[in-house]
Amino acid sequence: MKKFDKLSGIAAPLRMINVDTDIIIPKQFLKTIKRSGLGIHAFHDIRYNEDGTPKAEFVLNKLEYKNASILITGENFGCGSSREHAPWAILDMGITCVIAPSFADIFYNNSCKNGILPIQLPQDQVDQLMDEAETNPEAALEIDLEKQTIKRGNKLSFEFEIDPARKHSLLNGLDDIDLTLEKKARIVNFETTDKQKRSWLYKEA
């Protein structure tokens, strides 16, 4: 998993609430177990017309937001079924941070496990960031995970909360397997001690 420390990028405002995982990545694209290649299908039903052409009104199709690395959106983002393909798809299209007033728990956890920083802010702060992103789309939004701050030039500056364990994983690029391997010495020590206490458990059949 790629480390997340600081991010300076274009923020795209998606003024929608209750964006569920079927909107993020529709069920017909869940056949793969690969994490790459899903970005083209992200937000498919609201991103493309029936003939496959891009919908001009969809925010991520607009020229000023095509290279966005930050998504600002409404409450309850990522609700619905617990498909890990949703953060895979968002990450594959270049989005590494999502800002919203609230997230579905499973989506939030899956995002952190895949290198996406989900930031929860009060509604009024999200609204201010949305307004700025719409008014001045070319201005970069700066996110510092270590300091837990969001800045928009000299106009806006907010702090955000994040669980220390999630912060540690993102800063160091550690997925669940890496976190387990951090405890390798303790695991080996336990196995050695336990083997002495209960040797019959370790006998080969």
Confirm if 69 and 96 have CB atoms less than 8 A apart: yes
pLDDT at 199: 79
CA 71/CA 119 separation, integer angstroms: 10
pLDDT value at position 188? Answer: 67
pLDDT (0 to 100) of residue 118: 98
Helix, strand counts (H, E) of the chain? 8, 8
Percent pLDDT > 70 in the chain is 93
Looking at residue 151, its pLDDT comes to 97
Apex 75 CA angle, 132 and 33, nearest 5: 105
pTM of the model: 0.87
| Residues of the chain below pLDDT 50 | none
The 3-state DSSP composition of the chain as helix, strand, coil percent (nearest 5) reads 40, 20, 40
| Helical H segments across 14-122, by residue range | 21-24, 44-47, 85-92, 105-113
**Amino acid 198: pLDDT:** 84
Which CATH fold would you assign to the domain 6-174?
Aconitase; domain 4 (3.20.19)
